[in-house]
């Protein structure tokens, strides 16, 4: 199997998660600021971690929304810079699910607040991996 990088895109922060080489587990990786150099930073992460595929979470609604358009624009720019497969994956409420999971295991939200976007990317990636097994 190949290592996959999952991206939970946000206007201010972007959460990243990476799968293991067997494609069984998603692991939170990091959160990066969504600044001008974000594409270069992701490209470096892809190269340094030998990523073979990028998965970008996108909430498909009945009608196009501002965030969906921003994600598509981000993906277009990413495709120009990295030469590996990039796939959009339909996701809803990954951040809320990550927050609920953190609370359910007794973690204080304030202590993990800065990492929650990487946990959201992890939720997206784990769902993708489980769908791939079927």
Report whether 35 contacts 55 (CB < 8 A): no
* Token digits of residue 15: 């959460």
Of residues 106 and 38, more confidence is placed in 38
Domains of the chain: 4-133 (3.30.420.140)
Q: Which residues pair with 49 in a beta bridge?
A: none
pTM of the shown model? 0.89
What is the number of alpha carbons within 13 Å of residue 47 lying toward its C-beta? 9
pLDDT of residue 91: 85
The SS3 assignment for 117 reads: helix
Of residues 117 and 112, more confidence is placed in 117
Alpha helices in the chain (DSSP H): 38-48, 66-81, 94-104, 109-112, 116-133
Average pLDDT over residues 90-115: 72
CA Rg, the chain, in Å? 14
């Amino acid at each position: 199997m190949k290592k996959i990088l999952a991206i939970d895109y946000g206007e201010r922060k972007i959460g990243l998660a990476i799968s293991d080489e067997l494609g069984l587990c998603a692991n939170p990786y990091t959160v990066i600021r969504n600044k001008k150099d974000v594409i270069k930073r992701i490209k470096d992460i892809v190269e340094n971690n030998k990523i073979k595929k990028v998965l970008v979470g996108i909430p498909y609604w009945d009608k196009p929304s501002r965030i969906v358009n921003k994600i598509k624009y981000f993906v277009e720019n990413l495709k120009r810079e990295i030469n590996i497969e990039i796939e959009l994956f339909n996701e809803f409420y990954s951040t809320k699910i990550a927050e609920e999971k953190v609370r359910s295991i007794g973690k204080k939200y304030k202590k993990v607040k800065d990492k929650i976007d990487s946990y959201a990317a992890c939720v997206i990636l784990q769902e993708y991996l489980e769908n791939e097994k079927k």
